[in-house]
Amino acid sequence: MHEASIAESILDIAALNCRKAGFERVRSIRVRIGSASGVEREALLFAFECMKGGTAAEDATLEIEMAALGGTCDNCMGEFEAEGAYVLSCPLCGSNAFRITRGHEMDIVEIEVN
């Protein structure tokens, strides 16, 4: 349900950057969402479609790039990438001494304007 607040923030940031660049319409918005961020891709797309009307991005498409969960292990010193929203141990050596370094992203990457 918080995807509505996130869609609203995306629309605000896109409109602001569109104006700053001296344009009026946003054609597309590309965002990067980590698989551990708690954001549901389909829910975000739905919220975006519901909320874009009447904004500078009312005809825009939202492109969602999903970023995998990843981390480094202090035991085997390896770098890993994993499916899903969490890991309970290092997928390489099974140790608990790992740190998650990627997968919580929630960024706007680029907008296309005209």
Partner 1 sequence: MKVKVVTRILEANDRIAEENSRLFKSHGVFVVNLMGAPGAGKTSVLERLIAGLGGSRRVGVIEGDIAGTEDAERISALGVPVVQINTGSACHLDANMINEVLADLPLDELDLLMIENVGNLVCPAEFNVGEDMKIMVLSVTEGHDKPLKYPLMFQRSGALIINKTDILPHVNTDMERVRRDARALNPGIRIFEVSSKTGEGFSPALIEFIECLSGLR
Binding residues vs partner 1 (CB under 8 A): 1-2, 5-6, 9-10, 12-14, 17-18, 21, 23, 31, 36-39, 85-86, 88-89, 96, 106-114
Could you give the 3-state DSSP secondary structure of residue 98?
strand
For partner 1, give the closer residue by CB, 79 or 86. Answer: 86
Cα separation, 18 vs 3, whole angstroms: 22
For partner 1, give the closer residue by CB, 54 or 114. Answer: 114
Cα separation, 111 vs 108, whole angstroms: 8
CB of 85 to partner 1, least distance (A): 5
CB of 43 to partner 1, least distance (A): 11
Could you give the 3-state DSSP secondary structure of residue 65?
strand
Residues whose CB is less than 8 angstroms from the CB of residue 77 and which lie 6 or more positions away in sequence, other chains included: none
CB of 24 to partner 1, least distance (A): 12
